[in-house]
Amino acid sequence: MAADVWVVIDHERGAVSRVSLQLLTAARALAAGTGGQAVALFAGPGWEQAGPVVARYGPGTVLVWAGEEAVEFQTAPLVAMVAGLVADRQPWGVLFASVPLGKEVAARVAARLGAGVLADVTGITIEGGAPVAEHPAFGGAVVVRKTLRAGPFLICLKPNAVPAVEAAAATPGSPAEEMVTVALPEAARRARVVERVDTSGAGRPAVDQAPVVVSGGRGLQDPANFALVEALADALDGGVGASRAAVDAGWYPHAAQVGQTGKTVSPQLYIAVGISGAIQHRAGMQTAKTIVAINKDPDSPIFALADFGVVGDLFDVVPKLTEEILRRKAQR
């Protein structure tokens, strides 16, 4: 298995996140270079639901550890699973989602195995058998190229770095499925999830994974007006973000904050509504593929980095835009 490229599937009780499908796509491409196959690792309940989705993205093998234990003790079980299997089977490397959970697991696996981690990666190539990764740094002002001295190569890939592409029909149908069990030592049982609280935004994609993000700032003037941002996001099947000014005012949860002290997002489309574009905000969204700004102040710095800017009152523009988008979608 030494040439295989593994993927740790990020999921919520079997609901596979979009970034997992992007990781599988990237693993397939890398495996073509290493001469191995893509392998998916799945821990926790929900494989019945996840399996058919994962299979479409073409892993040659899936390693599944079913059971509640895998989630009850927070991240430690996943660390035990990945570290144990990597030590045992020595793949070329492992791809993790570069989101808080994925990076946490990668860091602990690396520390346990004496390996290194490439974090916040947006592109990988292979040179001389080792990965060469790109990482837009310092708020997206520069791109750093980095590598690891030795395998196993642990790599955290940012959401939306590569598009998710299903495997060609020519590749063999369903992957080989291997059920594994992991013995959890006492040390892995010390942190326990005692409660799960869902507060907001259920049903919308997470801001750091969504291909389209609509963010609201202080220009919204009132928390109730975030409904305008949410409606536009929903029309584009997007996630909702917020500036720090909006979060500090208590209008939207911190989990949605974009910027230096919030999430770094790289969506295909980022729409800033009533946001001035302070350097700390730009640090979190500058690498978006296409940027749209709606702001009433023509001198606002956000326009300097927008592909398409609208100078106008958001209370006029945004509802009409949402309506127009829904109208055009309905026509097709």
> Which residues of this chain interact with ligand FAD, rule CB under 6 A?
116-119, 135, 137, 144, 146, 217-219, 243-246, 257-262, 274-276, 278, 280-281, 284, 295-297, 300, 313-315
Tell the smallest beta-carbon distance from residue 167 to ligand FAD (Å).
Answer: 29
Q: How far apart are CA 249 and CA 215, in angstroms?
A: 15
Nearer to ligand FAD, 205 or 284 (CB): 284
- List C-alpha distances in Å: 276 to 90, 172, 240, 293, 321: 49, 51, 17, 9, 20
Tell the smallest beta-carbon distance from residue 38 to other proteins (Å).
Answer: 23
Tell the smallest beta-carbon distance from residue 309 to ligand FAD (Å).
Answer: 11
Binding at 178: pick from ligand FAD, other proteins, none (beta carbon under 5-8 Å per type): none
Q: Find the binder of other proteins among 170, 172, 195, 222 (CB under 8 A).
A: 195
Nearer to ligand FAD, 166 or 313 (CB): 313
Q: Find the binder of other proteins among 190, 223, 227, 297 (CB under 8 A).
A: 190
Binding at 297: pick from other proteins, ligand FAD, none (beta carbon under 5-8 Å per type): ligand FAD
Cβ density class 260-293: b for 16+ within 10 Å, e for less:
eebbbbbbebbbbbbbbbbeebbbbbbbbeebbb
Site string (129-168) toward other proteins, x via CB under 8 A: ---x---xxxxxxxxxxxxxxx------------------
Does 257 bind other proteins (CB under 8 A)? Our answer is yes
Other Cβ atoms within 10 Å of 221 Cβ, number: 13
Does 74 bind other proteins (CB under 8 A)? Our answer is yes
Binding at 311: pick from other proteins, ligand FAD, none (beta carbon under 5-8 Å per type): other proteins
Nearer to other proteins, 64 or 236 (CB): 236
Binding at 295: pick from other proteins, ligand FAD, none (beta carbon under 5-8 Å per type): ligand FAD
The gap from C-alpha 58 to its chain's centroid, in whole angstroms, comes to 20
Q: Which two tokens stand for residue 144?
A: 């750093």
**Directed axis angle between helix 76-89 and helix 100-113, to 10°?**
50
Q: How far apart are CA 56 and CA 310, in angstroms?
A: 40
Q: Find the binder of other proteins among 53, 184, 249, 311 (CB under 8 A).
A: 311
Nearer to ligand FAD, 138 or 166 (CB): 138
Cβ partners under 8 Å of residue 71, min gap 6? 13, 43, 44, 45, 77, 193
